Structure 1
């Protein structure tokens, strides 16, 4: 049985319906920078078509990880997801919630219900995953000024590596599920490795 991230694991409030009123649009992360003099713009990013733009006020994320869970594979159309964790207060959108689309994976609804996937409603580029207190940003769309600044977002580890579809040889810790709460897995040797797409791996450091 393949185990994926649950609402509890992502730190989101189970069954928290947020679309019953419009109040959430005035709260972080959807509050805009207009009239907010205390918000310092450190980084900017925009979706593929440029309709959605946001700023970050923190120099670097609280943590950064590569996630290999099957949900990320399906929803991003990629072998794994690069996610950087920020407080909601660290983020401001240029136009608030305007132009954003929401997807609540547990019940497959297109409503703003936590946890939810947030994307551009026009080009559908992924913007972030929103939980109850945190957001997972996707650094691939951040406009870094140079390579040194980009290093601030370097992932510390891999999570849900047991569900990977490709072996990664980078020396970073590889957790079978959540970091610090599951088994550390061995890094498969380059020579003779035989990864089969979609086949979970079960190596662990205790073997």
Structure 2
């Protein structure tokens, strides 16, 4: 059964042809805080070749912690973030957790957090796999 989701206005939809994500992670970096307008980003990470995105999107690139580009994709109509794709790990795509359909996102179990060096002091949860910065690709 594919995992599905969409942006706020439903102009962008997506399906992921896997049963579960490779990982579910909080990203505490300053860029993700600004991108989401929240204290951190919640990402479900999948193999890029298993994700199909349908509808108009816009993307922009920023320099990630690795020094390589990270491409952020969003809906040009409602502005919802959809995904990010890092050049440092070209085989994966990090889908914004909030955009997953409710039946899938309510089952998410974050197990990893990145950029704990910039984690806001009131975020007290500590996950099993915590990285002060982004770990190198494996």
Q: TM-score, normalised by structure 2?
A: 0.81
CA RMSD, Structure 1 to Structure 2 (Å): 2.2
Bigger fraction of residues in strand: 2
1:102 matched residue in structure 2: 59
Number of positions where the alignment pairs a residue of Structure 1 with one of Structure 2: 128
Compared with structure 1, are the counterparts of its residues 100 and 167 closer, same or farther at alpha carbon in structure 2 (3 Å cutoff)? same
For structure 2, the residue ranges without an aligned partner over 5 or more in a row are 64-68
* 1:1-80 equivalent positions in 2, closer than 5 A: 42-80=2-40
Instruction: Pick the aligned partner of 2:120 from 162, 165, 179.
Output: 165
Bigger Rg, which one: 1
Q: Is the 8 A contact 2:85 2:94 kept in 1?
A: yes
CA distance in 2, matches of 1:105, 1:171: 27
1:137 matched residue in structure 2: 95
For structure 1, the residue ranges without an aligned partner over 5 or more in a row are 1-40, 107-113, 182-207
CA distance in 2, matches of 1:103, 1:179: 23
Q: TM-score, normalised by structure 1?
A: 0.56
Q: Is the 8 A contact 2:49 2:91 kept in 1?
A: no
Of structures 1 and 2, the one with the larger relative CO (CA 8 A, separation 6+) is: 2
